[in-house]
Amino acid sequence: MPIYVDDKFRINIFLDTNILIDVLDGTFDNLNHSIDFFVSSDFVTLKSSHYVMFEMVENRKWNHFAKEVVKHTGLIDSVRKKYNWRINGVKYADHKENVQQKVLEEKERIVRDFTIVWEENVLHHELLAPTLDLCLESTISREDSLVLLSCVFPKEKQKEEQVLLMSRDKEFNKSCNEVDIRSIFSKHDLYVPEMIRTGCLFCNKHPKQINLNASHQHTKDEIEQFWKQKIIETIVNKNKDSFLGYTYSFKPAAGEGCIFFKLRKKSSLNNNIGLTIIGKDLDFVYSTHIISGFWSNQKIDNYPLVDDNNELPISFRPYERNDKGNVIEFQDSDLLSKMREKGNLVFINEDI
């Protein structure tokens, strides 16, 4: 059953042209496993842009025409040079209806099967100046410059703070690392997307490097566990000002009905706040009522409580209200049990 996830806890994963093509062709099993996981996750929005769509259409147009050439001539070498639209007597014009139908079907499949949204990242005139600067001040190509900018600047006056840009292009990644593109983006009040290169994926809390371009190197479970940790890492980075810490387990009967977390270092805790708890497996989101008081081995009397470097143990008791507005004990024992497990994320709910 889908769960409601506020936009501030959702992660935008932007797919480069080569990723869309690989997904359509099923080139790498682990990449398709990743996309399937994203589609099933309530915490992920898969995106691309109008510009990437045009690049994909051009590539697929050539790909399907090349297949027609091979089918009619049997000569594979003839199609290795891209974008020659008349090869050994086979003309694009003679096959355009068939090619067009296949390309449009793939375009629709991207939306239907993989729920990849590109209508939110349109080509607009405010992309021109930063794209020109990025192209001229770096070795990044005009095409890759537009991909980078279109993923974080989807519409006029709308800029994204946190985007994971997934690409298989080594040269693209290399060019991005050769120059301080952060200063170029900052000049236009834009955030730099985090480049996710499919051949070399890292996550702080995941012990293994992941290579999505090696189809049989990782199990499906390893792929999913990696992405859960990467999504959690990104959620925390995106909401670092409201992140309080992770839950831990506490077994004694005295703690029955309470939830425990360790206040992260150099954080402060106030009373009379609401909290949002996200499951360590990204399987639930729960927002509490206002919590009037917290405990740290004993009831806390002075607020704000500041944790300089100790990761103080904090506990609180969630509650519900009945139809008359009266406070009653928390009713969902299964959810309470989940929230008491180790590793859930705890945030200040700034909306109440």
CATH number of the domain enclosing 332: 2.40.30.10
Residue 84 is predicted with a pLDDT of 85
264-269: average pLDDT: 91
Are 272 and 205 found together in one domain? Answer: no
pLDDT-derived band at 185 (thresholds 50, 70, 90) equals: very high
Provide the β-strand partners of residue 91: 86
- What integer pLDDT is reported at residue 325 of this predicted model? 87
277 or 171, higher pLDDT? 277
336 part of a folded domain: yes
Check whether residue 37 and residue 168 sit in a common domain. Answer: yes
CATH number at residue 162: 3.40.50.1010
pLDDT tens for 39-83 read 999 999 999 999 999 999 999 999 999 999 999 888 777 777 677
pLDDT attached to residue 203: 84
**279 part of a folded domain:** yes
Q: Is residue 188 part of a domain?
A: yes
Examine residue 1 and state whether it is found in any structural domain, yes or no. Answer: no
Note the pLDDT tens digit of each residue in 307-330: 777 889 999 999 999 989 899 999
* Structural domain includes residue 212: yes
Contact 305, 315 (CB under 8 A): no
| Total domains in the fold of the chain | 2
User: Would you state the pLDDT for residue 170?
Assistant: 86
Which of 193, 220, 238 terminates a domain? The answer is 238
Whether residue 35 is found in the same domain as residue 97: yes
Categorize the per-residue pLDDT at 250 as very low, low, confident or very high, splitting at 50, 70 and 90.
confident
What would the pLDDT profile of 198-247 be if each residue is shown by its tens digit? 998 888 776 778 999 986 778 999 999 999 999 999 999 999 999 999 99
pLDDT higher than 70, residue 96: yes
Q: Are residues 90 and 172 in the same domain?
A: yes
Is there a single domain that holds both residue 170 and residue 292? no
Domain hosting 344: range is: 243-349
Pair 70, 181 in one domain: yes
* The domain boundary residue, chosen from 204, 238, 272: 238
Angle 167-169-170 from CA coordinates, rounded to 5°: 120
Rounded mean pLDDT of the chain?
92
Q: Does the pLDDT value for residue 124 go beyond 90?
A: yes
**Residue 343 lies inside a defined structural domain of this protein:** yes
Identify whether residues 227 and 300 lie together within a single domain.
Answer: no
pLDDT tens digit sequence for 104-121: 999 999 999 999 999 999
Q: Could you tell me if 290 and 352 are in contact, meaning their C-beta atoms sit under 8 angstroms apart? A: yes
144: in domain: yes
Asked if the structure places residue 2 within a domain, the reply is no
Under 8 Å between Cβ of 182 and 26: no
Q: What is the pLDDT of residue 253?
A: 56
- Same domain flag for 134 and 14: yes
Say whether pLDDT at 102 is over 70: yes
- The reply to whether 214 and 260 lie within a common domain is no
Confidence of residue 306 (pLDDT cuts 50, 70, 90): confident
Percentage above 70 pLDDT, the chain? 98
* Least confident piece of the model among 175-184, 279-288, 294-303, 333-342: 175-184
pLDDT band at 285 (very low <50, low <70, confident <90, very high): very high
pTM here is 0.92
Question: Confidence class of residue 90 from pLDDT cuts 50, 70 and 90?
Answer: very high
Per-residue model confidence (pLDDT) at position 252? 63
Instruction: Give the Cα separation of 64 and 161 in Å (integer).
Output: 37
Same domain as 147, residue 104: yes
- Choosing from 184, 207, 238, the residue where a domain stops is 238
Residues 263 and 315 reside in one and the same domain: yes
pLDDT at 254 over 70: no
Examine the domain organization and report whether 124 and 209 are in the same domain: yes
Q: Between 253 and 156, whose confidence is greater?
A: 156
Residue 237 to residue 248: CA distance in whole angstroms = 20
